[in-house]
């Protein structure tokens, strides 16, 4: 007995890529995600290429992955793709300690984040 086909979470003109463990805080990552929301894909890639933020290179890889998913898995035209959604979520937090004076310790938190990028193909009318 075969399994039933899974229902796609996106519509027919969308593709998605998700990176689950990026070593930065969600607040910093959201600044980069805001800069590409709603842009055409080529413009978004240029924004990320010349961004001074360290995490922009990882977001650029995720955007390339979303473009590849759109082209290979869903047969979408990459010239008419737009970054429809780019949203950020929190992930695990590594907890470390730093030795302080008089035998005390303080906590250092090293957060991880995740980003989801959804690209959508614009129709000829748009």
Domain residue spans in the chain?
14-121
Band (97; pLDDT cuts 50, 70, 90)? very high
Pick the CATH number of 14-121 from 3.90.470.10, 3.40.50.1220, 3.40.50.720, 3.40.50.300: 3.90.470.10
Give pLDDT, residue 124: 56
pTM: 0.88
Band (59; pLDDT cuts 50, 70, 90)? very high
The secondary structure of 41-83 as a DSSP string is HHHHHHHHHT---TTHHHHHHHHHHHHHHHHHTT---GGGEEE
The answer on pLDDT for 63 being more than 80 is yes
Give pLDDT, residue 83: 97
Q: d(Cα 98, Cα 12) in Å, to the nearest integer?
A: 50
Give pLDDT, residue 64: 97
The answer on pLDDT for 3 being more than 70 is yes
Q: Token pair of 21, please?
A: 């463990």
Band (62; pLDDT cuts 50, 70, 90)? very high
- CA distances to 23, 90, 110, 120 from 65, rounded to whole Å, are 18, 21, 26, 14
The answer on pLDDT for 46 being more than 70 is yes
């Amino acid at each position: 007995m075969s399994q039933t086909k899974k229902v796609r979470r996106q519509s027919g003109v969308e593709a998605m890529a998700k990176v689950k463990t990026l070593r930065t805080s969600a607040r910093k990552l959201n600044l980069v995600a805001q800069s590409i929301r709603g842009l055409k894909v080529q413009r978004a890639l240029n924004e990320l290429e010349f961004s001074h933020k360290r995490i922009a290179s990882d977001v650029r890889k995720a955007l390339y992955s979303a473009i590849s998913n759109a082209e290979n898995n869903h047969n979408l035209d990459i010239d008419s793709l737009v970054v429809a959604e780019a949203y950020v979520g929190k992930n695990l937090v590594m907890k470390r300690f730093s030795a302080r004076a008089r035998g005390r310790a303080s906590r250092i938190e090293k957060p991880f984040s995740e980003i989801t990028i959804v690209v959508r193909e614009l129709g000829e009318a748009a």
